[in-house]
Amino acid sequence: MTQNPRLNRWIEEIKTLCEPDALVLCDGSPEEYNRMMTALTDAGVAKPLNPGLRPNSYLVRSDPADVARVESRTFICSAQEADAGPTNHWADPDQMRSTLTDLFKGCMRGRTMYVIPFSMGPVGSPIAHIGVEISDSPYVVASMHIMTRVGRAVLAELGTDGAFVPCLHSVGQPIPDGATSAPWPCNPENLYVAHFPETREIWSFGSGYGGNALLGKKCFALRIASAMARQEGWLAEHMLILKLTNAAGEYRYVAGAFPSACGKTNLAMLVPSIPGWTVETVGDDICWMKFGEDGQLYAINPEAGFFGVAPGTGMDTNPNAMAALHGNCIFTNVAETEDGDIWWEGMTPEPPARLTDWLGNPWTPDSGTPAAHPNARFTVSAAQCPAIADEWEDLKGVPISAILFGGRRASVVPLVNEAKDWAQGTFFGSIVASEKTAAAAGKIGELRRDPMAMLPFCGYNMADYWQHWINIGQTPGAKLPKIFYVNWFRKDDSGGFVWPGFGENARVLEWVFERCLGRAEAIDTPIGRLPTLTGINFANLDLTDDAISTLLKVDVGGWLAEIPLIEAYYESFGEKVPDALWEQLASLKQRLLASAEHSA
Ligand code: OXD
Ligand code: MN
């Protein structure tokens, strides 16, 4: 069927196991995409939108029981439990294989089995890797067309003996003889998203939605790729990639890891408030970095599209995303307007008077329920983003000068803090946390640690992952990016945000940029290198001196109170936490104590 005997054997094996009615080897063509969307429309799950308003676009309504990634059913099936670590759900690989083999037996009866060869990254890039997803969902086929590079070019690149990650997916609902399929088939009671890092395989059963089903994204590009990266000496990260250009035309590439709900897509497509500066997008969610011959880390966005959270996206928060969504999109679980277009909370300041909600029910602003599901998504080709950087598909990737880590912190963490070196930067990444947004101002709220924003996405033991980061920093000849810890979410005593965020974040990016070029000053503090009070351009922001000193404050008491929390967090990983991180913590504590004593 293909030139690759290993792939052919796998296809035969899965066909025998799943017993589909038909088999299609996907070619990635527009005709194939249209066939999928027509099949979904005929099945009553997709609805073409008004072509005059949103050409070649569809609204899809999933089953209300299948609307998000299910972390509780996501497993890392390494041979040893310790290799999954305390932050992952572990399952014995043999047992999982046997459970899944039973579930997959005959699961595609009445359906077509699609074989989707895809490349994560531009085809032929030395940083890219190939996967093959077998799925019984036309929605998955169409979404993979947008989110990855699918088809013949990938098979040509794979050749006769190229490596690929087998990604097996089924919605888990065979069609009994003579019956018709549910519009959105799924099997939430038997949901499994299982990863086998040692053999580099993914098996997913029971869900047709997002990260559970589009296996190139979180499953391959983060969980399996992080395990591959550890073995092979590179980095697979939950990071955006942007290109920052100043008014003089100088440019640098920046990667950034932020937990969910911290505005990662908005930052990737930022419209800078500084005259003459531009931000262009290379990627909004995932970044693969490998060392180039010059010792720099070169990054690609392994994806080809954006699978973005729709609610909260509007002309005020992300005009580039809104422009990208002009047509050729799939919208899932958004609301529908009376004239056959889409709407979600935050898209316009006022909601329309009448809508059909994501469940298909009539909706008005008085309904008291969200019109779009909070995890409603748009799926759109990255090429449609007006801010996409010309080099976003460069085979050699883009050299990364700075890495940002950030969380949502009402207190303690300053606006920006530069690590003195890679080890301190790794320490910053390891302690990234977000506070519950309801946390009381000025007090440390309940923290959810999300190291490097990888908590749900690291395919092996998080402490080993930190060690891998430390090791990367010791690569001979490496010219490493600078690392910064940023926080857009600092609050004042009355609970209001101190920093305006959005386009104004460019002012922080400007300082980062100038630091990378060796031109901006920084002061050494107990917690890291901070801008001077005049180091960031705060002009015309209406910030009081108090606000500026809050943003750039070294909160010695707050950090000292946090040390035991970090210690307890590290201890929860046992022996595997790198010595280098314990040393970072100990020396931070020492510097803070010395500073407290000095000012006492
Ligand atoms: C995503 C996520 O969908 O991080 O990108 O959950
Ligand atoms: Mn993400």
Average pLDDT over the chain reads: 96
Rounded average pLDDT over 233-245: 98
Helix/strand/coil for 254: strand
Mutate to test the pocket of ligand 1, among 215, 219, 285, 377 (most ligand atoms within 8 A of CB): 285
| Residue 82 in this model has a pLDDT that exceeds 50 | yes
| Residue 125 in this model has a pLDDT that exceeds 60 | yes
Distance 476 CA to ligand 1 centre (A): 34
Helices H, strands E: what count in the chain? 15, 31
Measure the CA–CA gap between 579 and 286, rounded to whole angstroms: 28
Q: How confident is the model at residue 262 (pLDDT cuts 50, 70, 90)?
A: confident
Superfamily of domain 5-44+72-233: Phosphoenolpyruvate Carboxykinase, domain 1 (3.40.449.10)
Q: What are phi and psi of 338, to 5 degrees?
A: -65, -25
Percent of the chain residues past pLDDT 70, beyond the cut? 98
| Residue 84 in this model has a pLDDT that exceeds 60 | yes
Q: Write the CB contacts of 354 (distance below 8 Å, at least 6 apart in sequence).
A: 338, 362, 363, 364
Measure the CA–CA gap between 110 and 482, rounded to whole angstroms: 54
Q: How confident is the model at residue 436 (pLDDT cuts 50, 70, 90)?
A: low
**Dihedral sign of CA atoms 153, 269, 243, 400 in order:** negative
Ligand nearest to the CA of 70: 1
| Residue 439 in this model has a pLDDT that exceeds 50 | no
Catalytic choice (262, 329, 385, 516): 262
441 or 539, greater pLDDT: 539
Mutate to test the pocket of ligand 1, among 218, 220, 432 (most ligand atoms within 8 A of CB): 218
Q: Which fold has domain 237-304+393-599?
A: Phosphoenolpyruvate Carboxykinase; domain 3 (3.90.228)
| Residue 360 in this model has a pLDDT that exceeds 70 | yes
Rounded average pLDDT over 281-307: 98
Q: What pLDDT is recorded for position 447?
A: 87
Look up residue 94 and give its two tokens.
């043999």
b/e map 532-571, b = 16+ CB within 10 Å: eeebbebeeeebeeebbebbbbbbbebbbebeeebeebbe
CB 239 within 8 A of CB 256: yes
Atom of ligand 1 at shortest range from CA of 457: 4
Distance 535 CA to ligand 1 centre (A): 34
CB 354 within 8 A of CB 364: yes
Atom of ligand 1 at shortest range from CA of 210: 3
- Among 137-141, 239-243, 435-439, 464-468, the range scoring the smallest mean pLDDT is 435-439
Measure the CA–CA gap between 583 and 588, rounded to whole angstroms: 8
* CATH for the stretch 306-384: 2.170.8.10
Rounded average pLDDT over 547-572: 97
Distance 366 CA to ligand 1 centre (A): 30
Rounded average pLDDT over 355-374: 98
Q: What pLDDT is recorded for position 523?
A: 97
The set of protein residues with a Cβ atom below 6 angstroms from ligand 1 is 69, 211, 260, 285
pTM greater than 0.75 (yes/no): yes
Rounded average pLDDT over 321-325: 98
Domain residue extents for the chain: 5-44+72-233, 237-304+393-599, 306-384
Ligand nearest to the CA of 287: 2
| Residue 148 in this model has a pLDDT that exceeds 50 | yes
Q: What pLDDT is recorded for position 96?
A: 98
CB 168 within 8 A of CB 187: no
Q: What pLDDT is recorded for position 261?
A: 77
Atom of ligand 1 at shortest range from CA of 238: 4
Look up residue 417 and give its two tokens.
């803090």
Distance 195 CA to ligand 2 centre (A): 18
Look up residue 25 and give its two tokens.
């080897």
Distance 260 CA to ligand 1 centre (A): 6
| Residue 600 in this model has a pLDDT that exceeds 80 | no
CB 256 within 8 A of CB 279: no
pLDDT tens sequence across 212-228: 999 999 999 999 999 99
Q: What pLDDT is recorded for position 445?
A: 59
Ligand nearest to the CA of 257: 2
Contacts 24+ apart (CB under 8 A), 198-202: 198/78, 198/79, 198/93, 198/227, 199/93, 200/165, 200/166, 200/224, 200/227, 200/228, 201/165, 201/166, 201/167, 201/168, 202/165, 202/166, 202/167, 202/168, 202/169
Measure the CA–CA gap between 73 and 317, rounded to whole angstroms: 33
Closest residue (by CA) to atom 4 of ligand 1? Answer: 260
pLDDT tens sequence across 88-99: 999 999 999 999
Q: Do domains 5-44+72-233 and 306-384 have the same CATH topology?
A: no
Closest residue (by CA) to atom 6 of ligand 1? Answer: 260
Rounded average pLDDT over 365-373: 98
Please indicate whether residue 262 is annotated as part of the active site. Answer: yes
pLDDT tens sequence across 471-494: 999 999 999 999 999 999 999 988
Percent of the chain residues past pLDDT 90, beyond the cut? 95
Radius of gyration of the chain (CA): 24
Angle between helices 579-599 and 462-472 (to 10 degrees): 80
Closest residue (by CA) to atom 5 of ligand 1? Answer: 285
